[in-house]
Structure 1
Amino acid sequence: MISSNYQDVLRGRYQQLPDVRSKVVRIFLSSTFSDTMGERDSLIENVFPKLKSYCREKYGLEFQYADMRWGIPTESNNNHSETETCLKETELCQKYSVATNFVVLLGHRYGSRPTPATIRASLFEQLYSIICSDINDKDDAQLLSQWYQLDTNCIPAVYILRPISSMLPKILSPDTNEVKRAEKEWKKINTRIRTRLRQAATKCLEQQQIQENEYDDFFVSVTEKEIINGILSVPNANERTLCFLRKFEDIHEHLSDNKASKYIDLKYLNDGTPIVDDEVEKLLNRLKYTRIPNVLQSKNIYKYKIHWTSKGINRDDHSQHIEQFNNDFYNAIQQQIDQCVQSRIIPISDPLHHEILEHAIECKTYVAKFHGRTDILNSVS
């Protein structure tokens, strides 16, 4: 008996076409780096090989994972494209993975919050005007004009943060000492720029001149931007994404431990006493306890509570946690693979059916890239 799906494909009416005929399960692993090393290393050693075997043996699929911890090119740091690189990778995983495409691991760290590499021109000019209006900020206004360059090739126009080497060429020097001095200088400049932009963005928000999402762009971390791309803004998040939250129940009592700063965001009082960075903690808690649960069902969110040790996460003190995490990760991914593959992959034994489906997918790809020039056509009609 011919199925309705088969008939729809032959008639050109099949609506659930994939973007590509992929045979890959590709997962973007999102998290901060220093505090999740124990879990990540265990996944690589114990879980990913099993998932590779499972995908290959049961479905003939290739299992891949994208872990940005293993290196973003130096050039990306120089031209401030680290965030863009990460977000593009999340999109590639979404495009090519036939099942799970995004997994986030979160502890007590929120992640780096870089200065925006691009700012919409009209917004930048608003911020610049606010900074210029403060007589004490004249030097910082000049700094902004030096480091941000208008790019009218973009539509709408944007201001782009110049590559570090364009202003501090010694950052690419073969001399290590020169590089360190240039990096130190850039760190000072970057802090000044980021601070002034955040202050100006806060004023704009208070005066209702910008939207909250535009304001957030100056404050949220790369990790949160990945989560926005990977979970919060996708329609099928509960089918293809997972979240793992790990909490040290007593880390606040051990902020002076040598390794504490690798596991929780801290700032320091004048006397050197470490305290929790309350601004960052507020953003992290909003992400963990409001934004993610508003999108993901509870079955997609795994929570762990463990005790702090002076060595941080390690296999001696936290072997039970790591084993439980490994099992949960494997079982959750396996379940999503089974559900997605069985519901989305159409078994094709008929060559005609296969060829028509390939043509339909290719047609969908070309149509998505087509942009008609109705303005020109209207002007000559």
Structure 2
Amino acid sequence: MSRGGRLPCPRDSALRRAAFCGNLAALPSHLVPGGRSVRVFISANPEDTIAERNALREHVYPKLREFCRENYGLEFQVIDLYWGVETEEWDSPELQKTRMKLLEDCLKTSAGPCFVGLLGEKYGSIRIPGEVESSEFEMIIDAAVEAKLETRLLEEWYCRDENAVPPAYYLRPKSEMLKNYHNTMESSANSMNESKWQDIAEEIKRIFKTAVKLLYEKGKMKHSQAKRYLSSAIEDEFDFALGKQTPAFLKKCVCYIRKIANIERFVKIPEMEKYMDVTYTAGKFMRDPEALEKLIKLRDEFIPTIVASSNLRVYTSITHCDMKLGYSQDVENHYIEGLGKQFYEDMIDIIQATVQQNFDTETDLLYDEVLQHSSLCKTYSSFYEYRCEALNIVHKYILPSKVGHINPLIIYGGPCTGKTLLLGEVAKKAYMWLQEEMGPESDPVCGPKLLSRALGYITMSKSGLSEMELEDILALDNSVMDELNEIVRQKDFEISPNGKVGIISRGDENINVLDLQSGKLRVVHAPGIIWRQRLSRDGRYLVYICFRSEDDDDNGAVSSLTVMRLADALISYLSQAKAWKILIRRAALPDQPKSLR
């Protein structure tokens, strides 16, 4: 068996044929792509590391991408899922589940460094469980009642699924529980729902925390069980990435620790709550002692223990606050400048030390390319839980059409509405849909093809791309596409290497699933770079609009409202071609998204 648990795959093998035909169901779960890219997972609390991660994204990642391309022909990709996600979604069970899955993928598949931890003075909030086994949930309810807590909120927000094995309680989606949760374009509705959800989330955490601690103290719950409810996301990620790893593996990981001297003195400054865990007790603000205790165990006990038995790189910086302003902008900028330089040097060192080892093993580059995208599609599909109208429409669109001309299909919506998960599910099921339509005996090579290509994977939307770099990412790789066209040996199966954006394009016999998440684009360039050039060719393309945007700023970043206006402009443009349209609103997957025809 070759590295990474991959079975040798000769060019004529069944697995290779399945991969190139888009038959994801035929690819075993243990089959992982080889290390053809450097994929680094960033573990951090989102609140206190915004400036650091933004600086790395704008000034360091582009240089590392250029280094990897020029010296190794590899992509440098960073997984930082908090970018583009709204604040109230940071503790979402779905987001944390996705983070852990992508962390695992980075540890398994990166050709070089794979994990970077950014740890400051903030431990972070405990998580809201998205799923609890039935017996454990009922035990927690009983403990909460014993502690004289009101349990109505848990009983309302968690529903029992008798079909689960074992039976379990699941957190209901916010779109089902909060009124007008889909009205993402109405700021008043947004603000009201966000405030209401924050109150609900904090109360749910308080109930779980109190009940679980009581059960643990009475010996009714093991430490490993209790930890699932009492740990922050960053502790889970550090433990998963660094615990029980070999010294050789830990050479691919780095931790940067930022300590702020005498930070407790500045607890009354409102802005400092971003940098430490604060609680309000006995009429005054103070540093949360319980969160501090957990932080010390993680930072001053767990990490040093790992260092003592390995070559894990750990850097600790101590910064001093301004006496009046606390952790001021100047103080933060000084730390960030040093972090950027050290981060770049460490990534270069690790890449040079580890990437060549992966090159020493002969690999099938094209097969690995397809596996990379198939693996990502399967990951996204695993988080798709709700069948909705949008999936039915795409299903209908993909099936062979008796009409000669195929119009474009457009899927669009705001951040976190499930577009990527929906397309992952489409990529997974499209082959099965076609087999059902054409018959089980149809030849997967001579019949329709499904090509899944997730452009830039998930993090290119959050990497601060220049216009030239954006063009590089949006362009399809000529050599890979040429070889793939040669393999399928279909004269009418052609993929333009100059295409810019697409999710599903189809001719009479071929279906291509592409995915792109574009980041902060300038409004003036968005139509020219993405939409018009792609759609002006033959009109066979499904366009996927997925902006991970922030509020408008001086740099012309695209806001959510601007995105919807641009989407409306695109739809108006495509209406001349009689395009199909699907609008997926925020968190609409559990319900029925609106379909525009």
TM-score interval (norm. to shorter): 0.7 to 0.9
Matched residue, 1:191? 202
Structure 2 residue 165 is the aligned partner of structure 1 residue 155 = yes
* SS of equivalent to 2:78: strand
Matched residue, 1:57? 70
Shift of 1:305: 0.9
Matched residue, 1:377? none
Count of matched residue pairs: 343
Closer, same or farther in 2 for the Cα pair 1:298/1:280, shift >3 Å? farther
| Distance across 1 between alignment mates of 2:131 and 2:335 | 41
Closer, same or farther in 2 for the Cα pair 1:44/1:126, shift >3 Å? same
Matched residue, 1:255? 267
| Distance across 2 between alignment mates of 1:91 and 1:313 | 36
Contact map agreement 2:133 2:166 (CA 8 A) in 1: yes
Contact map agreement 1:268 1:275 (CA 8 A) in 2: yes
Closer, same or farther in 2 for the Cα pair 1:263/1:232, shift >3 Å? same
Closer, same or farther in 2 for the Cα pair 1:57/1:222, shift >3 Å? same
* SS of equivalent to 2:305: coil
Matched residue, 1:180? 191
| Distance across 2 between alignment mates of 1:227 and 1:190 | 24
Shift of 1:234: 4.3
Closer, same or farther in 2 for the Cα pair 1:106/1:74, shift >3 Å? closer
Matched residue, 1:146? 156
Matched residue, 1:213? 224
| Distance across 2 between alignment mates of 1:318 and 1:180 | 30
Matched residue, 1:288? 299
Matched residue, 2:235? 224
| Distance across 2 between alignment mates of 1:34 and 1:78 | 12
Shift of 1:266: 1.2
Paired AA for residue 202 in structure 2? T
Matched residue, 1:376? none
> TM-score, normalized by length of structure 1?
0.78
Contact map agreement 1:78 1:164 (CA 8 A) in 2: no
| Distance across 2 between alignment mates of 1:150 and 1:124 | 10
Paired AA for residue 143 in structure 1? L
1:216-271 CA-to-partner distances (Å, cap 9, x unmatched) read: 12121122222223222544541221110011113222222342112111122444
Shift of 1:276: 0.6
Closer, same or farther in 2 for the Cα pair 1:153/1:226, shift >3 Å? farther
| Distance across 2 between alignment mates of 1:167 and 1:242 | 41
Matched residue, 1:374? none
Paired AA for residue 207 in structure 2? R
Matches within 5 A, 1:1-381: 19-72=32-85, 80-133=93-146, 136-137=148-149, 140-173=150-183, 175-235=186-246, 237-271=249-283, 273-296=284-307, 297=310, 299-309=312-322, 310=325, 312=327, 314=329, 316-317=330-331, 320-346=334-360, 348=362
Contact map agreement 2:257 2:315 (CA 8 A) in 1: yes
* SS of equivalent to 1:186: helix
Q: Which piece of structure 1 moves more, 318-327 or 56-65? A: 318-327
Q: Which piece of structure 1 moves more, 181-190 or 251-260? A: 181-190
Shift of 1:65: 0.7
Paired AA for residue 242 in structure 2? I
| Distance across 2 between alignment mates of 1:283 and 1:230 | 18
Closer, same or farther in 2 for the Cα pair 1:153/1:102, shift >3 Å? farther
CA RMSD of aligned residues (A): 3.4
1:184-233 CA-to-partner distances (Å, cap 9, x unmatched) read: 33333333332222221112111222221211121211222222232225
| Distance across 2 between alignment mates of 1:264 and 1:356 | 46
| Distance across 2 between alignment mates of 1:82 and 1:102 | 18
Closer, same or farther in 2 for the Cα pair 1:104/1:83, shift >3 Å? same
1:67-110 CA-to-partner distances (Å, cap 9, x unmatched) read: 22312379967974121122222123223311111101111111
> TM-score, normalized by length of structure 2?
0.52
Percentage of pairs with the same residue? 28
Higher helix share: 1
Paired AA for residue 323 in structure 1? E
* SS of equivalent to 1:84: helix
1:335-357 CA-to-partner distances (Å, cap 9, x unmatched) read: 22122222233254xxxxx5699
Contact map agreement 1:79 1:164 (CA 8 A) in 2: no
Closer, same or farther in 2 for the Cα pair 1:240/1:152, shift >3 Å? farther
| Distance across 1 between alignment mates of 2:295 and 2:195 | 28
Q: Any unmatched runs of 5+ in structure 1?
A: 349-353, 370-381
Contact map agreement 2:92 2:128 (CA 8 A) in 1: no
| Distance across 1 between alignment mates of 2:108 and 2:53 | 24
Contact map agreement 2:42 2:116 (CA 8 A) in 1: yes
Closer, same or farther in 2 for the Cα pair 1:162/1:355, shift >3 Å? closer
Contact map agreement 2:253 2:312 (CA 8 A) in 1: no
Contact map agreement 1:171 1:183 (CA 8 A) in 2: no
Paired AA for residue 207 in structure 1? K
Contact map agreement 1:79 1:163 (CA 8 A) in 2: no
